[in-house]
Amino acid sequence: MLTIKRKPLFFQVKEVLSFVPNFLKLIYCLVDDSRVPIKEKAILLAVAAYILSPFDFLPDIIPFLGKIDDLLLLALILQRFINSVDRSIVLEYWEGDANLLELMESIMALAGRLLPPGVYRRIVHKAQADIAGKDYVDVDFDIK
């Protein structure tokens, strides 16, 4: 019979509380790493400036919706940013539990499901095409 060892609650809480500092350190290290494309760093910094600016697509004074657009955009851009580098580079800088990193990536992917497929494709898959060295054409058309 397979037995799974669970960590004591103290260690689980410690890992969750250390998630935010570990994640911020990961992003900082990736921004500082020369193996990350400059274009992806610029997009991340532009989104950070947009989120911090008082001008928004949906004003922050609108309850719930005013913040949700910022959170969705941030999740998508972080997903794009992390996907823009090889997984080994991400793991090189990640100091937390690997399960927490996978959970974070799942949450970011969930944000993509809340958007129309075309928007998600243009934001996230464009980065993946750039990484693979493939051309990406952002055009929708019907063949008759």
Mean pLDDT of the chain: 75
pLDDT at 141 over 50: no
In a domain, 112, yes or no: yes
If one counts the domains in the chain, the total is 1
In a domain, 31, yes or no: no
In a domain, 80, yes or no: yes
In a domain, 142, yes or no: no
In a domain, 35, yes or no: no
Give the pLDDT band of residue 35 (cuts 50, 70, 90): very high
Average pLDDT for residues 90-103, to the nearest whole number?
83
Contact call for residues 85 and 30 (beta carbons, < 8 A): yes
pLDDT at 89 over 70: yes
Residue-range definition of the domain harbouring residue 100: 54-132
Contact call for residues 107 and 75 (beta carbons, < 8 A): yes
Give the model's pLDDT for residue 11. Answer: 60
Give the model's pLDDT for residue 55. Answer: 74
User: Distance between CA 82 and CA 40 in Å, rounded?
Assistant: 9
Residue 7 has φ and ψ, to the nearest 5°, of -75, 150
User: Distance between CA 70 and CA 62 in Å, rounded?
Assistant: 12
In a domain, 86, yes or no: yes
Quickly tell me which residue has 């919706």 as its tokens.
Answer: 65
In a domain, 26, yes or no: no
Contact call for residues 37 and 84 (beta carbons, < 8 A): yes
pLDDT at 116 over 90: no
In a domain, 144, yes or no: no
Least confident of 6-10, 28-32, 64-68, 127-131: 127-131
Give the pLDDT band of residue 126 (cuts 50, 70, 90): low
